């Protein structure tokens, strides 16, 4: 089974206006509400690939209910931990006339100690050897930066596989706990290791440094340039298919979905990576929050080749 964990989900509200004006009332000409959250995106992409997963995490209040209803309507098995606080809403206002936008993220609920304990218990009840657990996104208020590290240890000690896709201190501490796979993008890897531009060119050195911290396998996504893959003494570079980019946000989550989909079937990371690239590219070619579809992924797959 594949589990995805989203600790800090959000309803993403997008309002479109012709012209943005301060100190006056603007009327939205269009609006839409989407489920936001890295783990949710991974579960949604897995569904598009024909792969079931169980979505876990914190949801609360009317917004939380709305998100879980939407995921369930999409055919995703939801096993959430309910919280007292209200799941956050992130607001984007897009100004059509000048093609610019403002995005404001709500801080979101504070998780209590007992809510955190309930989540850990519900994870522990499900731990089975051989399963895959995707831990994605930022941590909500009240959750210590060591929390992903704690989960990675629980999961790996149970003989299951943790895939960690987060950033900053939570990523640093999580890597030390030895996850099966991490998938930072170049910016996240650079920030984590505090690399200057010159050091960034020594790819072999810094990818090995990330592995030395504790990650068992490493994929660094490079947007349209493809991805690097490193494990033990090996470093490989893969090209991404060329597509017409519509919206690359969420491409990384789709890549994680593609990787876990194939890894959970027993494939090696070399075999799985082309699927990750094709899934990322398929989603980047879609407008808005749409994710790639299986047929497109299969078609893009032949262009996903190893460069060296
Ligand atoms: N414009 C593009 N053309 C082709 N492939 C792309 C493009 N953008 C993304 N991809 C594919 O998706 C993968 C992941 O993209 P990226 O490196 O942007 O992830 P990310 O920064 O983690 O994204 P996010 O966190 O917003 O989901 C890339 O390795 C690549 O295979
Ligand atoms: Mg990412």
H or E element in which residue 173 lies? helix 168-176
Q: Biggest alpha carbon distance in the chain?
A: 60
Nearest-angstrom CA–CA distance, 236 and 230:
6
| Ligand 1 atom nearest 276 alpha carbon | 31
For residue 41, the ligand closest to its alpha carbon is 1
| The pLDDT value given to residue 99 | 80
| The pLDDT value given to residue 173 | 98
Active site (catalytic) residues: 253
| Ligand 1 atom nearest 183 alpha carbon | 22
**Residues 217 and 231 sit within 8 Å (Cβ to Cβ):** yes
**Residues 44 and 68 sit within 8 Å (Cβ to Cβ):** no
Q: Which tokens in the block code for residue 189?
A: 């890897």
Other Cβ atoms within 10 Å of 218 Cβ, number: 23
Ligand 1 pocket, residues with Cβ under 6 angstroms: 185, 221-224, 226-227, 240, 243, 245, 248-253, 255, 277, 280-281, 284
Nearest to 12 by CA among 246, 249, 259: 249
Ligand 1 binding pocket mutation candidate from 37, 240, 246, 304 (most atoms within 8 A of CB): 240
Q: Does domain 2-6+38-84+110-303 have CATH number 3.40.1190.20?
A: yes
For residue 305, the ligand closest to its alpha carbon is 1
Nearest-angstrom CA–CA distance, 79 and 70:
14
| The pLDDT value given to residue 231 | 86
Burial degree of 284 (CB within 10 A; 0-12, 13-18, 19+) = buried
**Residues 293 and 282 sit within 8 Å (Cβ to Cβ):** yes
| The pLDDT value given to residue 308 | 87
Nearest-angstrom CA–CA distance, 205 and 203:
5
Ligand 1 center–CA 167 separation, angstroms: 16
Q: Which tokens in the block code for residue 83?
A: 């919280």
The full length of the chain comes to: 308
Q: Whose CA is nearest to atom 9 of ligand 1?
A: 223
| The pLDDT value given to residue 255 | 98
- Per-residue pLDDT tens digits of the chain, which is 308 residues long: 999 999 999 999 999 999 988 999 989 999 999 999 999 999 999 999 999 999 999 999 999 999 999 999 999 999 999 999 999 999 999 998 778 999 999 999 999 999 999 999 999 999 999 999 999 999 999 999 999 999 999 999 999 999 999 999 999 999 999 999 999 999 999 999 999 999 999 999 999 999 999 999 999 999 999 999 998 878 999 999 999 999 998 999 999 999 999 999 999 999 999 999 999 999 999 988 899 999 999 999 999 989 98
Nearest-angstrom CA–CA distance, 135 and 151:
9
| The pLDDT value given to residue 121 | 98
| The pLDDT value given to residue 98 | 78
Ligand 1 binding pocket mutation candidate from 36, 171, 223, 246 (most atoms within 8 A of CB): 223
Ligand 2 center–CA 251 separation, angstroms: 7
Q: Which tokens in the block code for residue 307?
A: 């460069």
């Amino acid at each position: 089974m594949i589990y995805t964990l989203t600790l800090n989900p959000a309803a993403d509200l997008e309002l479109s206006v012709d012209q943005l004006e301060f100190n006056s009332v603007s009327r939205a000409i269009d609006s839409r509400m989407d489920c936001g959250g890295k783990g949710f995106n991974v579960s949604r992409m897995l569904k598009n690939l024909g792969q079931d997963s169980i979505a876990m995490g914190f949801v609360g209040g009317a917004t939380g209910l709305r998100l879980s209803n939407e995921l369930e309507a999409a055919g995703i098995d939801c096993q959430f931990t309910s919280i007292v606080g209200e799941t956050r809403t992130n607001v984007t206002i897009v100004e059509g006339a000048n093609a610019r936008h403002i995005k404001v993220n709500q801080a979101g609920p504070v998780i209590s100690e007992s809510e955190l304990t309930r989540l850990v218990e519900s994870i522990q009840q499900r731990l089975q050897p051989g399963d895959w657990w995707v831990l994605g996104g930022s941590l909500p208020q009240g959750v210590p930066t060591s929390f992903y590290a704690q989960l990675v240890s629980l999961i790996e000690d149970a003989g299951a596989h943790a895939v960690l896709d987060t950033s900053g201190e939570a990523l640093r501490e999580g890597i030390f706990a030895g996850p099966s796979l991490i998938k930072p993008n170049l910016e996240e890897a650079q920030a984590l290791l505090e690399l200057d531009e010159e050091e960034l060119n020594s790819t072999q050195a810094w990818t090995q440094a990330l592995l030395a911290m504790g990650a068992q396998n490493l994929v660094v996504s490079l947007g349209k340039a493809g991805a690097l893959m490193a494990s033990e003494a090996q470093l490989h570079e893969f090209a991404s298919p060329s597509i017409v980019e519509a919206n690359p946000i969420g491409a990384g989550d789709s890549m994680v979905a593609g990787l876990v989909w194939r890894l959970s079937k027993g494939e090696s990371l070399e075999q799985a990576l082309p699927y990750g690239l094709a899934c990322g590219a398929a989603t980047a070619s879609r407008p808005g929050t749409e994710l790639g579809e299986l047929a497109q992924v299969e078609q893009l797959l032949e262009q996903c080749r190893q460069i060296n």
